[in-house]
């Protein structure tokens, strides 16, 4: 599933646009990420329509965060979509994380979001976290590991430190930008090759592919950079 590691973030405007994107990039990516925006607009039926015939695994990035019973119920309700990867927020606590893992099918990797790549140390300080993004990511990664999850979502800058304490974890890494790409709202970024070399297991790449004039060529170029 993860041979070339790139999951394209296909949170585009509608189902037909997402299906068209998948058809273009499928030869050069390892999987497809669909997130909260797409899910709220189109629901499970929209997810199923995009994945039908795609021939790619689904990364369902909903970042679930609620009381344990509610998250467990939500995870169970998503099982018919057969996600290969599903996200929850590590900040929901150990009981919530354990409940999510228990409710998920065995074939679904449940991974915990540590610190969003749109946040920097100043943002965390304003939220009461005084020791920065790296320390917070490690702290939440330990919680996810100890709660039985399969891995985490973190920026590429935290992968190496967390891999040292969790070598078998799955590291899903957004904030990946090819050299020269606009960073947009991402604050802690790295190139695909550098993120891969740091230990990323899944590279999540959106706008550098989806907003490119030729998404197929952009995906192929990123795949070539990892060869």
CB-count burial class (<10 Å; 0-12, 13-18, 19+) for 214: exposed
Which are the contacts of 164, defined by CB distance < 8 A and separation ≥ 6?
none
How far is residue 51's CA from residue 97's CA, in Å, rounded to a whole number?
A: 26
Location of structure tokens 């990511």: 137
SS (H, E, C) 105-159: CCCCEEEEECCCCCCCHHHHHHCCCCCHHHHHHHHHHHHHHHCCCCEEECCHHHH
Catalytic residue among 24, 63, 163, 187: 63
* Torsion angle (degrees, nearest 10) of CA 10, 13, 15, 19: -40
63 catalytic residue (yes or no): yes
How far is residue 176's CA from residue 203's CA, in Å, rounded to a whole number?
A: 7
End-to-end CA distance of the chain: 16
SS (H, E, C) 39-62: HHHHHHHHHHHHHCCCCCCEEEEE
Just list the catalytic residues: 63
């Amino acid at each position: 599933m993860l041979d070339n590691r790139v999951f394209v973030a296909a949170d585009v405007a509608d189902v037909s646009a997402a299906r068209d994107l998948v058809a273009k990039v499928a030869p050069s990516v390892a999987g497809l990420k669909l997130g909260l925006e797409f899910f709220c607009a189109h629901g499970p039926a929209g997810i199923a329509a995009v994945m039908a015939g795609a021939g790619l695994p689904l990364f369902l990035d909903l970042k679930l965060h609620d009381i344990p019973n509610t998250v467990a119920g939500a995870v169970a309700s998503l099982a018919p979509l057969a996600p290969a990867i599903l996200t929850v927020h590590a900040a929901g606590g150990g009981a919530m994380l354990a409940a999510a893992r228990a409710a998920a099918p065995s074939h679904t990797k449940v991974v915990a979001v540590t610190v969003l790549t749109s946040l920097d140390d100043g943002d965390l300080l304003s939220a009461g976290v005084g020791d920065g993004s790296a320390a917070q990511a490690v702290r939440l990664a330990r919680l996810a590991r100890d709660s039985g999850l399969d891995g985490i979502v973190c920026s590429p800058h935290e992968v190496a430190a967390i891999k040292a304490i969790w070598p078998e974890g799955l590291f899903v890494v957004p904030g990946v930008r090819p050299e020269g790409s606009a960073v947009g709202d991402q604050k802690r970024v790295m190139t695909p090759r550098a993120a891969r070399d740091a230990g990323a297991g899944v590279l999540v790449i959106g706008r550098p592919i989806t907003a490119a004039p030729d998404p197929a060529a952009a995906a192929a170029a990123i795949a070539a950079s990892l060869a």
